[in-house]
Amino acid sequence: MINAKGYAAHSKTDALQPWEFERREVGADDVLIDILYCGICHSDIHQVRSEWGPAIYPIVPGHEIVGRITAVGANVSKFKVGELAGIGCMVNSCQHCDSCDHGQEQFCDNKQTVWTYNSRDKDGSVTYGGYSNKIVCDQHFVLHVSDKLDLKGVAPLLCAGITTYSPLRKWKVGKGHKVGVLGLGGLGHMAVKFAVSFGAEVTMLSTSPSKEADAKRLGAHKFVLTKDPEQVKSLDRYFDFIIDTVSAPHDYNRYLQMLKTDGVQICVGLPPEPLSIAGNSLMRGNRVLTASSIGGIPETQEMLDYCAEHNITSDIELIDIKDVNTAYERVLKSDVKYRFVIDLATL
Ligand code: NAP
Ligand code: ZN
């Protein structure tokens, strides 16, 4: 086994604290990565606090991982020692079902998607994420990372990036579309960057007046404060698409009303509580309410390559790992600009 260290929570009410654990030896299809940076996703907080159901403790979160390959197994052809690499939300799946064959490993038909942490690998061992110094992973689930971009800002692309890129691509969002981005946090700021890059007119829908200047700097054409009923009223039947990144309960019906006929609201935020939708919110205008879960491995590579080509990274605040619990509190107060990234050199 390989000795590793990281930060873990030992119960849903515990703060994250230093913890030593073991990773498996590098198998024939595996690579070993020295982790350089790991983003903090709101999903980490939901899971550390068992908000999506009971977590497996101790839990080492982190699924926005970039680092450098330090060892490769005998069958590894995709990577060489010394190369940069990334890992997102998944580290394994059956790799032969219909969904896996179509590059949608997050929906493995054999229910063998293995999440990067808080999950059980095929051998029954618990997975531990990127708030740690090293990780072993099957090469299929490891992404190539360009050395052209600032690595710190690349880490969040592995979850916040692909989660917003994938539905915008699926719905062919681009020139001539009016897009509302709901919530300016980690996912929201990437949704703004991608939708603008794809040529859409983007309106930021936010509860935080202090974020207006940043929304515009990120490329949003308009900013609407959702707490102001007058501003909100002006948006009835305005959007072709809304991408909803909100992490807490909110009124979906209010935003559905902002869609044109045949408009689409895509939920990527995952509040713990069930959604409450009035039938009429959808019926009027044949509106579509849908969701999107991360993105498969081939599309994640496509997104990383697109970002390298178009010089897109996440706007981040780099933190020392000892400040991770303070960072969680700030995320919960919507006070993140716009992703915290842990510098693992501080571990
Ligand atoms: P985040 O950085 O905390 O951003 C969420 C933003 O939502 C906040 O910055 C805030 O923006 C807004 N917000 C928060 N509470 C709100 C409330 N009560 N009412 C209205 N707006 C509120 O979180 P994130 O990392 O982007 O993640 C967002 C959600 O997506 C989480 O639920 C996460 O678990 C989920 N997620 C889903 C996937 C997927 O595959 N679908 C992948 C990753 C994450 P303003 O200040 O602008 O209002
Ligand atoms: Zn995430």
Residue that is written with structure tokens 């509190």 in the block = 329
Separation of 62 CA from ligand 2 center, angstroms?
8
C-alpha distances (whole Å) from 7 to each of 3, 14, 276, 347 are: 14, 12, 36, 9
- Neighbour-count burial for 230-252, b at 16+ CB within 10 Å, e otherwise: eebeebeebbbbbbbbbbeebeb
Nearest-atom index, ligand 1, CA of 293:
40
Output the furthest CA–CA distance in the chain (Å, rounded).
63
Separation of 217 CA from ligand 2 center, angstroms?
24
Burial class (CB in 10 A: 0-12, 13-18, 19+), 107: middle
Separation of 161 CA from ligand 1 center, angstroms?
13
Residue by residue, DSSP assigns 40-89 as --HHHHHHHTTBTB---SSB-----EEEEEEEE-TT--S--TT-EEEE-S
Nearest-atom index, ligand 1, CA of 187:
26
In this structure, the residue with its CA closest to atom 12 of ligand 1 is 183
In this structure, the residue with its CA closest to atom 46 of ligand 1 is 208
Mutate to test the pocket of ligand 1, among 334, 336, 337, 341 (most ligand atoms within 8 A of CB): 334
Closest CA to 218 of 338, 346, 110: 338
- The pLDDT value recorded for residue 228 is 95
Closest-approaching ligand to the CA atom of 116: 2
Residue that is written with structure tokens 């999506």 in the block = 52
Q: Which domains does the chain have, with CATH numbers?
A: 2-158+295-346 (3.90.180.10), 160-291 (3.40.50.720)
In the structure, ligand 2 is a single-atom ion and the residues with CB under 5 Å from it are: 41, 43, 159
Closest-approaching ligand to the CA atom of 62: 2
Closest-approaching ligand to the CA atom of 181: 1
CB 253 within 8 A of CB 234: no
Burial class (CB in 10 A: 0-12, 13-18, 19+), 3: exposed
Ligand 1 pocket, CB under 6 A: 41-43, 46, 159-160, 163, 183-188, 206-208, 211, 245-248, 250, 268-271, 292-294, 331, 334, 336
Residue 236 CB contacts under 8 Å (≥ 6 apart), including other chains: 257, 258
How many angstroms from the chain centroid is the CA of residue 162? 7
- Tens of each residue's pLDDT in the chain, 347 residues: 999 999 999 999 999 999 999 999 999 999 999 999 999 999 999 999 999 999 999 999 999 999 999 999 999 999 999 999 999 999 999 999 999 999 999 999 999 999 999 999 999 999 999 999 999 999 999 999 999 999 999 999 999 999 999 999 999 999 999 999 999 999 999 999 999 999 999 999 999 999 999 999 999 999 999 999 999 999 999 999 999 999 999 999 999 999 999 999 999 999 999 889 999 999 999 999 999 999 999 999 999 999 999 999 999 999 999 999 999 999 999 999 999 999 999 99
pTM of the model: 0.98
Closest-approaching ligand to the CA atom of 87: 2
